[in-house]
Structure 1
Amino acid sequence: MPVSFRFASAVRADRRLPLVLLSKAALATVAAWVITGAILPGSPPVFASIAALLIVQPSANQSATKAVERSVGVTAGVAIGSSLGLAFGTQPWVVPAAIVTALLFAWILRMTPGVSNQTVISAILVLALGVSTPGYAGARIVETIIGALIGLTVSVALAPTVPVAEARERVDALGLEIAATLDRLAEAFENKHSAQELEGMLLTARLLRPMREAATTAMKAATDALTLNPRAPRYRDQLAQLQDLLERFSGIVIQVIGMTRAVRDHGPDDLAREPASPAIAEQLRRAAHDLRLLTSAPDDMVAPDEEPALTRPLQIQTPSSGNWALIGSILVDLRRVHQAITDPL
């Protein structure tokens, strides 16, 4: 990889920050500078502006976490820096000693990296900007708290919409791909497939795992956006249903991959001739049908059926002696898929 490309990827994001987030950060920073300067005249409100800037995050919950980190880190750092400065004055070794002390303090208390870094930065700033000024340390702590409150207020007041649509899209995509995998399995029980085709079927089924992870990540982002969000009540029920659906799909992913692997490993060339294969193929297609009904897929993606799927009893003829283990394994997994689909939401 060229050095220039690696450097560019290190400093540039895949996409720009949302303009709303940029506007919130600018508003919070400017408001913290103006308001704190009016409340605490004298020193420029640097701590307040930095606090407000760092606290504004994509969600109000993340902003609240940053506010706590910032306030705790500044309080600890100012206390450490002020204590060393008042005790030893402006000796050249005071700042290095403050850095080491702040790092050890954060390590002993098992503080997060954000709090640890803020503690060190605050200790350095308080020593560099005015430890000898009476009341300076206390004023900087108050200033930081004001900036944190302003940043948090802006984040909550201008909270972004909850990304329910993205979460639903990811969950629906997972459900539809599971249904497609079940259809491919049904095809394997209906027609003869080569070893290469069965291997490709298994590789495709394994792609359900990253899709499940993507859906889980989208759900976590949507759930996180609910905290301290004024719009939370209108989305809470939707996200609860999506979470239940994702849990169902996650369990089915395991069963579907297992069934596909079993067919790849143990399925004979004449699997379609097995007496039980037509009934199993029918149940696989019915399971795929019902999975599509659980998603928000358009009506034309759901095959018409006069009666609900998976309601007809599965009648299996005695499998041949060489395939009884495979058929039994498929039936067990089918039962689990059936249970996951038909359990009430």
Structure 2
Amino acid sequence: MRDVREAWAAGGARVTKWRQDPVIVQTVRSAAAATIAYVVALRFSPEAAPLTAPLTALLVVQVTLYSTLTTGIRRVNSVVAGVLVAIGFSVLVGLTWWSLGLLILASLAVGHLVRVSEFVPEVAISAMLVLGVTRVGDTAWARILETVIGAVVGLGCNLLFAPPVWVGAAGESIEDLARRMRQLMLLIGEEAASRTPVTLAAERLHEARRLDHDIVEVDAALKQAEDSLRLNPRVREGLLHRVVLRTGLDTLEICTVVLRVLARSLTDLAKERVPDPLFEPEIGRTLERLLAEVGDAVVSFAVLVTTDVSHSAESAESRLASEITAATATRDKLAQLLLEGVQRDARRWQLHGAVLTEVTRLLDELDMEHRSRRLLEELDRCTREERDRMPRLNRFRERLRPARRNRTAASNRAT
């Protein structure tokens, strides 16, 4: 019995994990929307197999509600524009090889005029499909009807079954990037404390440059998460979540640039000191310890910006503050050791100063006060942009505020 209960518990946990997986949720939602759209189109469309409706629903039900709304509108516009172009050509010239070429040119031009973005080819596809049938008029209106049905069903599925929020996936990408940065810092620190060949230092520089490709992938995941927070009924403070994640990734991107510059400085120093070690033993050990502490701070920073629960966020914030304090003390010790070393031998003081400057920049970017100031500035900027984009809505809200205050005051007096 115990084995059966454990098996049931493991199976239930696996099902729960699948239900929370954004990819699985999105797959089920897309399939359901396409099926429902086909059933509805069978009832209202004169076509025997109205496949345009499920195709439209499948394309309209995107991974986020925001992209679904914008995509649905553009897709309907593209199909309607293509059908209208096909009706005009069928009345004037019909279908020939030269009219087909003119139809494609006209459809693509109309697609750019109506601003359907990525659905410009859809205008030409719709026009060719409609023009290629015999009963142009009936098929044209049937295609428009099926497209509208598919778009409405897709939008309805998103309103009834809210799309998944991709913040978790974006947070995992950000934390994974921070851990790769920490691993690189540990390797650079270990090699700085020993005799480092130029080829090995150059390899670390190439690894630091490859972090740029990781930034691009994380940025794509973050854009998807930002779209999933817009207009999503499951999210209350979407703007705050978006700004926290975006500013966090911006900070990590700056840190990757500084880390790349640090790797370049150490590579240049390795070229200058062949065959000697990069630093004196005590300086190398101190730099190794400093980079390890900075790497830990980078990971704590990533955990802080991706944590929603207040208790966990407070724990991550206190851990980050203590790690920055320890790293700052180690940085001061390294600065003193480098100063003493330069006083003994000033031949490479520029590279030693560059290493110290780059580590200091890393600490400045991770500083809590700098983080808070950057976050407030970005919140103010986003709020101003939203207010400028929708002035009428903001004026309506401002008119409602005095009425709410009056009702609140009246209820307080009554109690």
Query: TM-score, structure 1 length as denominator?
Result: 0.77
**Out of 139, 151, 155, which is 2:154 matched to?**
151
Equivalent residue pairs, number: 323
**Change over 3 Å in CA distance of 1:24–1:94 after alignment to 2:** farther
**Out of 152, 166, 170, which is 1:167 matched to?**
170
Q: Aligned partner of 1:289: which letter?
A: D
Q: Aligned partner of 1:336: which letter?
A: R
Q: 1:28 corresponds to which residue?
A: 33
Q: 1:120 corresponds to which residue?
A: 124
| Matched-pair contact (CA < 8 Å) for 1:164–1:235 | no
| Matched-pair contact (CA < 8 Å) for 2:72–2:151 | yes
Structure 1 residue 177: Cα displacement: 2.5
Structure 1: any 5+ residue segments left out of the alignment? Answer: 1-16
**Out of 71, 74, 77, which is 1:72 matched to?**
77
Q: Secondary structure at 2:236's aligned position in 1?
A: helix
Q: 2:208 corresponds to which residue?
A: 205
| Corresponding position: 1:60 with 2:85 | no
Q: 1:324 corresponds to which residue?
A: 349
| Matched-pair contact (CA < 8 Å) for 1:289–1:309 | no
Q: Matches of 2:102 and 2:135 in 1, distance apart?
A: 15
Q: 1:340 corresponds to which residue?
A: 365
**Change over 3 Å in CA distance of 1:336–1:116 after alignment to 2:** same
Q: Matches of 1:208 and 1:306 in 2, distance apart?
A: 23
| Matched-pair contact (CA < 8 Å) for 1:24–1:154 | yes
Is the helix fraction higher in 1 or 2? Answer: 2
Q: Matches of 1:184 and 1:23 in 2, distance apart?
A: 44
More RCO (CA 8 Å, sep 6+): 1
Structure 2: any 5+ residue segments left out of the alignment? Answer: 1-21, 305-311, 373-415
Matches within 5 A, 1:1-345: 18-38=23-43, 40=44, 42-44=46-48, 45-88=50-93, 92=96, 96=100, 99-106=103-110, 109=113, 114-127=118-131, 128=133, 130-133=135-138, 137-138=140-141, 140-233=143-236, 237-267=240-270, 268=273, 269-273=276-280, 280-296=287-303, 308-312=325-329, 314=332, 315-316=335-336, 317-318=339-340, 319=342, 320-342=345-367, 343-345=370-372
Q: Matches of 2:88 and 2:298 in 1, distance apart?
A: 65
Structure 1 residue 252: Cα displacement: 1.0
Q: Matches of 2:153 and 2:87 in 1, distance apart?
A: 25
Structure 1 residue 324: Cα displacement: 0.4
Task: Give the % identical residues.
Answer: 24
In the TM superposition, what whole-angstrom CA distance separates every residue of 1:119-161 from its partner, at most 9, and x where no partner exists? Answer: 223223333152355xx64564344223211122213433332
Runs of 4+ in 1 over 6 A off after TM superposition: none
Q: Matches of 1:225 and 1:58 in 2, distance apart?
A: 7
Q: Aligned partner of 1:84: which letter?
A: F
Q: Matches of 1:278 and 1:182 in 2, distance apart?
A: 14
Q: Aligned partner of 2:158: which letter?
A: S
Q: Matches of 2:24 and 2:357 in 1, distance apart?
A: 51
Structure 1 residue 171: Cα displacement: 1.2
CA RMSD between the two structures: 3.6
Q: Matches of 2:358 and 2:109 in 1, distance apart?
A: 54
Q: 1:9 corresponds to which residue?
A: none
| Matched-pair contact (CA < 8 Å) for 1:170–1:211 | no
